[in-house]
Protein backbone atom coordinates (compact mmCIF):
# COMPACT_ATOMS: atom_id res chain seq x y z
CA UNK A 1 0.00 0.00 0.00
CA UNK A 2 1.24 3.47 -0.83
CA UNK A 3 1.10 6.52 1.42
CA UNK A 4 -2.08 7.92 -0.11
CA UNK A 5 -3.97 4.68 0.51
CA UNK A 6 -2.78 4.61 4.14
CA UNK A 7 -4.04 8.17 4.61
CA UNK A 8 -7.39 7.15 3.12
CA UNK A 9 -7.72 4.22 5.54
CA UNK A 10 -6.85 6.38 8.55
CA UNK A 11 -9.40 8.99 7.54
CA UNK A 12 -11.98 6.27 6.96
CA UNK A 13 -11.43 4.83 10.44
CA UNK A 14 -11.89 8.26 12.01
CA UNK A 15 -15.11 8.76 10.05
CA UNK A 16 -16.38 5.34 11.19
CA UNK A 17 -15.74 6.27 14.81
CA UNK A 18 -17.47 9.65 14.50
CA UNK A 19 -20.34 8.59 12.23
CA UNK A 20 -20.93 4.83 12.54
CA UNK A 21 -24.34 4.97 10.82
CA UNK A 22 -23.22 6.87 7.72
CA UNK A 23 -21.88 3.85 5.85
CA UNK A 24 -22.96 4.90 2.35
CA UNK A 25 -20.96 8.14 2.42
CA UNK A 26 -17.94 6.23 3.70
CA UNK A 27 -18.13 3.78 0.80
CA UNK A 28 -18.38 6.66 -1.66
CA UNK A 29 -15.37 8.34 -0.04
CA UNK A 30 -13.35 5.13 -0.29
CA UNK A 31 -14.22 4.73 -3.98
CA UNK A 32 -13.27 8.35 -4.69
CA UNK A 33 -10.00 7.95 -2.81
CA UNK A 34 -9.09 4.75 -4.64
CA UNK A 35 -9.88 6.29 -8.03
CA UNK A 36 -7.78 9.36 -7.29
CA UNK A 37 -4.94 7.15 -6.08
CA UNK A 38 -5.07 5.16 -9.32
CA UNK A 39 -5.08 8.38 -11.38
CA UNK A 40 -2.09 9.71 -9.45
CA UNK A 41 -0.16 6.46 -9.88
CA UNK A 42 -0.83 6.19 -13.63
CA UNK A 43 -0.02 9.88 -14.19
CA UNK A 44 3.27 9.72 -12.31
CA UNK A 45 4.35 6.39 -13.82
CA UNK A 46 3.45 7.34 -17.38
CA UNK A 47 5.39 10.59 -17.25
CA UNK A 48 8.39 8.87 -15.65
CA UNK A 49 8.47 6.59 -18.71
CA UNK A 50 8.45 9.66 -20.97
CA UNK A 51 11.30 11.27 -19.03
CA UNK A 52 13.39 8.10 -19.10
CA UNK A 53 12.76 7.61 -22.82
CA UNK A 54 13.92 11.16 -23.51
CA UNK A 55 17.04 10.64 -21.39
CA UNK A 56 18.17 7.31 -22.82
CA UNK A 57 17.04 7.60 -26.45
CA UNK A 58 19.28 10.14 -28.17
CA UNK A 59 17.00 10.22 -31.21
CA UNK A 60 14.35 12.00 -29.14
CA UNK A 61 16.00 15.38 -29.42
CA UNK A 62 13.73 17.23 -31.84
CA UNK A 63 12.17 20.56 -30.95
CA UNK A 64 8.76 18.96 -30.57
CA UNK A 65 10.23 16.40 -28.16
CA UNK A 66 11.52 19.17 -25.90
CA UNK A 67 8.01 20.57 -25.59
CA UNK A 68 6.75 17.08 -24.74
CA UNK A 69 9.52 16.80 -22.13
CA UNK A 70 8.45 20.09 -20.56
CA UNK A 71 4.84 18.95 -20.49
CA UNK A 72 5.84 15.60 -18.95
CA UNK A 73 7.64 17.40 -16.11
CA UNK A 74 4.52 19.45 -15.36
CA UNK A 75 2.23 16.41 -15.48
CA UNK A 76 4.61 14.41 -13.28
CA UNK A 77 4.43 17.11 -10.60
CA UNK A 78 0.64 16.96 -10.73
CA UNK A 79 0.53 13.16 -10.44
CA UNK A 80 3.33 12.76 -7.90
CA UNK A 81 2.79 15.76 -5.63
CA UNK A 82 -0.57 17.46 -6.18
CA UNK A 83 -3.10 14.63 -6.46
CA UNK A 84 -1.91 12.59 -3.42
CA UNK A 85 -2.39 15.57 -1.08
CA UNK A 86 -5.71 16.37 -2.69
CA UNK A 87 -7.14 12.94 -1.81
CA UNK A 88 -7.60 13.48 1.97
CA UNK A 89 -8.77 17.04 1.32
CA UNK A 90 -11.46 15.85 -1.10
CA UNK A 91 -12.68 13.15 1.30
CA UNK A 92 -12.80 15.11 4.56
CA UNK A 93 -13.28 18.59 3.04
CA UNK A 94 -10.60 19.88 5.41
CA UNK A 95 -6.87 20.59 5.08
CA UNK A 96 -4.81 18.97 7.84
CA UNK A 97 -1.31 20.00 6.67
CA UNK A 98 -1.14 23.66 7.74
CA UNK A 99 -1.42 27.04 6.05
CA UNK A 100 2.16 27.32 4.74
CA UNK A 101 2.15 23.92 3.09
CA UNK A 102 -1.29 24.76 1.67
CA UNK A 103 0.17 27.74 -0.19
CA UNK A 104 3.07 25.64 -1.50
CA UNK A 105 0.71 22.91 -2.65
CA UNK A 106 -1.71 25.32 -4.37
CA UNK A 107 1.19 27.12 -6.09
CA UNK A 108 2.67 23.91 -7.51
CA UNK A 109 -0.75 22.63 -8.52
CA UNK A 110 -1.83 25.78 -10.37
CA UNK A 111 1.55 26.52 -11.96
CA UNK A 112 2.16 22.93 -13.14
CA UNK A 113 -1.35 22.61 -14.56
CA UNK A 114 -1.11 25.88 -16.49
CA UNK A 115 2.40 24.98 -17.72
CA UNK A 116 1.02 21.73 -19.14
CA UNK A 117 -1.70 23.64 -21.01
CA UNK A 118 0.74 26.21 -22.43
CA UNK A 119 3.08 23.42 -23.56
CA UNK A 120 0.23 22.02 -25.66
CA UNK A 121 -0.10 25.47 -27.24
CA UNK A 122 3.66 25.50 -27.83
CA UNK A 123 3.48 22.16 -29.64
CA UNK A 124 0.74 23.52 -31.92
CA UNK A 125 2.72 26.71 -32.63
CA UNK A 126 5.80 24.65 -33.44
CA UNK A 127 3.80 22.45 -35.80
CA UNK A 128 2.18 25.38 -37.60
CA UNK A 129 5.52 27.17 -37.93
CA UNK A 130 7.24 24.12 -39.41
CA UNK A 131 4.40 23.52 -41.91
CA UNK A 132 3.55 27.09 -42.87
CA UNK A 133 7.01 28.68 -42.85
CA UNK A 134 9.61 25.91 -43.26
CA UNK A 135 12.47 28.21 -44.33
CA UNK A 136 12.29 30.52 -41.31
CA UNK A 137 11.64 27.49 -39.09
CA UNK A 138 14.91 25.86 -40.13
CA UNK A 139 16.72 29.15 -39.70
CA UNK A 140 15.51 30.22 -36.27
CA UNK A 141 14.29 27.04 -34.57
CA UNK A 142 17.36 26.15 -32.52
CA UNK A 143 17.84 24.60 -29.10
CA UNK A 144 18.70 27.95 -27.52
CA UNK A 145 15.36 29.30 -28.69
CA UNK A 146 13.58 26.19 -27.36
CA UNK A 147 15.19 26.58 -23.92
CA UNK A 148 13.98 30.18 -23.76
CA UNK A 149 10.44 29.11 -24.68
CA UNK A 150 10.47 26.30 -22.09
CA UNK A 151 11.55 28.71 -19.37
CA UNK A 152 8.98 31.28 -20.48
CA UNK A 153 6.21 28.69 -20.09
CA UNK A 154 7.00 28.23 -16.40
CA UNK A 155 7.55 31.95 -15.86
CA UNK A 156 4.15 32.89 -17.34
CA UNK A 157 2.42 30.20 -15.28
CA UNK A 158 4.14 31.36 -12.09
CA UNK A 159 3.35 35.04 -12.69
CA UNK A 160 -0.29 34.21 -13.36
CA UNK A 161 -0.96 32.44 -10.04
CA UNK A 162 1.83 33.01 -7.51
CA UNK A 163 1.13 36.70 -6.74
CA UNK A 164 -2.52 35.92 -6.03
CA UNK A 165 -1.55 33.06 -3.72
CA UNK A 166 1.28 34.72 -1.77
CA UNK A 167 0.79 38.48 -2.06
CA UNK A 168 -2.95 39.03 -2.35
CA UNK A 169 -3.46 38.85 1.42
CA UNK A 170 -1.01 41.74 1.89
CA UNK A 171 -3.18 44.14 -0.12
CA UNK A 172 -6.60 42.97 1.08
CA UNK A 173 -5.81 41.47 4.44
CA UNK A 174 -9.14 42.19 6.17
CA UNK A 175 -11.35 40.51 3.58
CA UNK A 176 -9.01 37.55 3.27
CA UNK A 177 -8.89 36.97 7.02
CA UNK A 178 -12.68 37.20 7.32
CA UNK A 179 -13.34 34.67 4.57
CA UNK A 180 -10.47 32.36 5.49
CA UNK A 181 -11.19 29.07 7.21
CA UNK A 182 -8.68 26.87 9.00
CA UNK A 183 -9.92 23.82 7.12
CA UNK A 184 -9.93 25.51 3.72
CA UNK A 185 -7.00 25.31 1.28
CA UNK A 186 -7.36 27.47 -1.78
CA UNK A 187 -5.52 30.41 -3.24
CA UNK A 188 -6.27 33.78 -1.72
CA UNK A 189 -7.05 35.08 -5.20
CA UNK A 190 -10.33 33.14 -5.04
CA UNK A 191 -11.58 35.89 -2.74
CA UNK A 192 -11.27 38.43 -5.58
CA UNK A 193 -13.58 37.92 -8.54
CA UNK A 194 -11.56 40.17 -10.86
CA UNK A 195 -8.23 38.48 -10.17
CA UNK A 196 -9.75 35.01 -10.44
CA UNK A 197 -11.39 35.95 -13.76
CA UNK A 198 -8.08 37.20 -15.20
CA UNK A 199 -6.18 34.16 -13.91
CA UNK A 200 -8.71 31.71 -15.33
CA UNK A 201 -8.78 33.56 -18.65
CA UNK A 202 -4.99 33.21 -18.91
CA UNK A 203 -5.20 29.60 -17.77
CA UNK A 204 -7.91 28.31 -20.11
CA UNK A 205 -9.65 30.80 -22.43
CA UNK A 206 -6.83 32.20 -24.57
CA UNK A 207 -4.97 28.85 -24.84
CA UNK A 208 -8.19 27.21 -26.05
CA UNK A 209 -8.84 29.97 -28.62
CA UNK A 210 -5.25 29.84 -29.83
CA UNK A 211 -5.35 26.05 -30.16
CA UNK A 212 -8.51 26.24 -32.28
CA UNK A 213 -7.02 28.91 -34.57
CA UNK A 214 -3.69 27.12 -35.00
CA UNK A 215 -5.27 23.76 -35.80
CA UNK A 216 -7.59 25.38 -38.33
CA UNK A 217 -4.62 27.09 -40.02
CA UNK A 218 -2.71 23.80 -40.07
CA UNK A 219 -5.64 22.03 -41.73
CA UNK A 220 -6.04 24.81 -44.32
CA UNK A 221 -2.32 24.72 -45.11
CA UNK A 222 -2.32 20.94 -45.51
CA UNK A 223 -5.38 21.09 -47.81
CA UNK A 224 -3.70 23.71 -50.01
CA UNK A 225 -0.54 21.63 -50.27
CA UNK A 226 -2.52 18.52 -51.13
CA UNK A 227 -4.31 20.35 -53.95
CA UNK A 228 -1.03 21.69 -55.34
CA UNK A 229 0.53 18.23 -55.27
CA UNK A 230 -2.50 16.74 -57.03
CA UNK A 231 -2.39 19.40 -59.75
CA UNK A 232 1.36 19.03 -60.28
CA UNK A 233 1.05 15.26 -60.58
CA UNK A 234 -1.76 15.59 -63.09
CA UNK A 235 0.25 18.13 -65.11
CA UNK A 236 3.48 16.12 -65.09
CA UNK A 237 1.88 12.71 -65.78
CA UNK A 238 3.60 11.13 -68.82
CA UNK A 239 1.61 10.51 -72.01
CA UNK A 240 0.92 6.82 -72.35
CA UNK A 241 -0.37 6.64 -75.90
CA UNK A 242 1.74 4.67 -78.35
CA UNK A 243 1.79 7.39 -80.97
CA UNK A 244 3.36 10.00 -78.64
CA UNK A 245 5.79 7.83 -76.68
CA UNK A 246 9.04 8.01 -78.65
CA UNK A 247 12.15 6.93 -76.81
CA UNK A 248 15.73 7.09 -77.86
CA UNK A 249 17.65 4.09 -76.73
CA UNK A 250 21.33 4.88 -76.51
CA UNK A 251 23.90 2.25 -75.70
CA UNK A 252 25.95 3.06 -72.62
CA UNK A 253 29.01 1.26 -73.96
CA UNK A 254 29.41 2.66 -77.48
CA UNK A 255 29.70 6.09 -78.98
CA UNK A 256 31.53 9.31 -78.33
CA UNK A 257 30.62 12.13 -75.96
CA UNK A 258 29.39 15.49 -77.15
CA UNK A 259 28.32 18.55 -75.13
CA UNK A 260 24.94 20.11 -75.81
CA UNK A 261 23.90 23.74 -75.46
CA UNK A 262 22.58 23.00 -71.97
CA UNK A 263 25.99 21.77 -70.84
CA UNK A 264 24.90 18.11 -70.75
CA UNK A 265 27.09 15.39 -72.17
CA UNK A 266 25.33 12.90 -74.46
CA UNK A 267 26.56 9.77 -76.16
CA UNK A 268 26.45 10.09 -80.00
CA UNK A 269 26.32 6.94 -82.06
CA UNK A 270 26.01 6.17 -85.71
CA UNK A 271 22.59 5.78 -87.23
CA UNK A 272 22.45 2.02 -86.92
CA UNK A 273 23.09 2.25 -83.13
CA UNK A 274 20.23 4.73 -82.51
CA UNK A 275 16.87 3.05 -82.39
CA UNK A 276 13.61 4.93 -82.37
CA UNK A 277 11.36 2.78 -80.28
CA UNK A 278 7.61 3.02 -79.97
CA UNK A 279 7.24 0.95 -76.87
CA UNK A 280 6.23 1.13 -73.22
CA UNK A 281 8.98 2.73 -71.09
CA UNK A 282 8.54 0.28 -68.24
CA UNK A 283 9.03 -2.69 -70.55
CA UNK A 284 12.23 -1.25 -72.01
CA UNK A 285 13.68 -0.48 -68.58
CA UNK A 286 12.99 -4.02 -67.42
CA UNK A 287 14.49 -5.70 -70.49
CA UNK A 288 17.67 -3.66 -71.10
CA UNK A 289 19.85 -1.44 -68.95
CA UNK A 290 20.14 1.53 -71.27
CA UNK A 291 20.19 5.29 -70.83
CA UNK A 292 16.66 6.33 -71.80
CA UNK A 293 15.65 9.85 -72.68
CA UNK A 294 12.24 11.18 -73.66
CA UNK A 295 12.65 12.09 -77.31
CA UNK A 296 9.65 14.40 -77.46
CA UNK A 297 10.77 16.52 -74.47
CA UNK A 298 14.48 16.88 -75.28
CA UNK A 299 15.10 19.11 -78.30
CA UNK A 300 18.89 18.86 -77.98
CA UNK A 301 18.80 15.09 -78.27
CA UNK A 302 16.45 15.35 -81.26
CA UNK A 303 18.79 17.71 -83.12
CA UNK A 304 21.81 15.54 -82.36
CA UNK A 305 20.09 12.44 -83.70
CA UNK A 306 19.17 14.34 -86.89
CA UNK A 307 22.81 15.44 -87.34
CA UNK A 308 24.08 11.90 -86.92
CA UNK A 309 21.60 10.60 -89.50
CA UNK A 310 22.60 13.33 -91.99
CA UNK A 311 26.31 12.53 -91.54
CA UNK A 312 25.76 8.84 -92.21
CA UNK A 313 23.54 9.29 -95.29
CA UNK A 314 26.44 9.90 -97.83
CA UNK A 315 28.10 6.65 -96.86
CA UNK A 316 25.05 4.72 -98.00
CA UNK A 317 24.84 6.60 -101.29
CA UNK A 318 28.43 5.71 -102.01
Indicate whether 264 and 140 sit together in one domain.
no
Indicate whether 140 and 206 sit together in one domain.
yes
Task: Tell me how far the alpha carbon of residue 229 is from its chain's centroid.
Answer: 24
Range of the domain at 8: 1-93
Distance CA(238)–CA(233), nearest Å, equals: 10
- Answer whether residue 198 is part of any domain: yes
Among 65, 93, 121, the domain boundary falls at 93
- Answer whether residue 242 is part of any domain: no
Question: What average pLDDT is seen over the chain?
Answer: 76
- Answer whether residue 147 is part of any domain: yes
pLDDT at 129 over 90: yes
H helix intervals, the chain:
3-18, 23-56, 63-77, 83-92, 99-132, 134-140, 143-166, 168-171, 173-179, 193-200, 206-236, 281-287, 299-317
Name the pTM for this structure.
0.67
- Over residues 285-314, the pLDDT tens digits come to 444 444 444 444 444 445 545 555 555 554
Among 237, 270, 303, the domain boundary falls at 237
151 confidence band (pLDDT: 50, 70, 90): very high
- Over residues 267-280, the pLDDT tens digits come to 444 444 444 444 44
Indicate whether 188 and 70 sit together in one domain.
no
Indicate whether 195 and 251 sit together in one domain.
no
Distance CA(52)–CA(286), nearest Å, equals: 50
Indicate whether 83 and 183 sit together in one domain.
no
pLDDT at 108 over 90: yes
Indicate whether 155 and 117 sit together in one domain.
yes
pLDDT at 165 over 60: yes
pLDDT value for 190: 82
pLDDT value for 173: 63
Indicate whether 149 and 271 sit together in one domain.
no
Indicate whether 73 and 162 sit together in one domain.
no
Among 74, 93, 112, the domain boundary falls at 93
Distance CA(291)–CA(257), nearest Å, equals: 13
- Answer whether residue 76 is part of any domain: yes
Number of domains in the chain: 3
Amino acid sequence: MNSSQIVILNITMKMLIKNPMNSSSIIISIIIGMCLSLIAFITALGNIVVLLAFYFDKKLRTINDYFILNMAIADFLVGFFCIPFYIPFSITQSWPFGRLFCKIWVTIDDVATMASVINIVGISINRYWSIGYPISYRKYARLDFVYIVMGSVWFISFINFAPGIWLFSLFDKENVEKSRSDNDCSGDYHKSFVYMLIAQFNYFIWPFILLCILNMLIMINICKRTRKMTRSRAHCEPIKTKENVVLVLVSSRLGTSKDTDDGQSLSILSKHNINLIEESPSRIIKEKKYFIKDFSQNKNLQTLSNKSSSNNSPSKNR
